[in-house]
Structure 1
């Protein structure tokens, strides 16, 4: 079984998505 690996990947993806959202908020409005 790879439940642990799946959970680890899910956690990493979740953290990455949160960081990306924060970075998007930090990006100046000039780009968006």
Structure 2
């Protein structure tokens, strides 16, 4: 349970950062 939660949080962070970068470069359609 704890490991799954950590993986989910990490995935969210990666998705958020990638989305922010893409939004600054093109359009806010990362995730």
Q: TM-score, normalized by length of structure 1?
A: 0.68
Match of 2:7 in 1: 9
Larger radius of gyration: 1
Listed one character per residue, the Cα deviations across residues 1-32 of structure 1 (whole Å, up to 9, x for unaligned) are xx110000000001111111100011157xxx
The count of aligned residue pairs is 27
Q: Which runs of 5+ in 2 are unaligned?
A: none
> Once superposed, which parts of structure 1, at least 4 consecutive aligned residues long, lie more than 4 Å away?
none
CA RMSD of aligned residues (A): 1.7
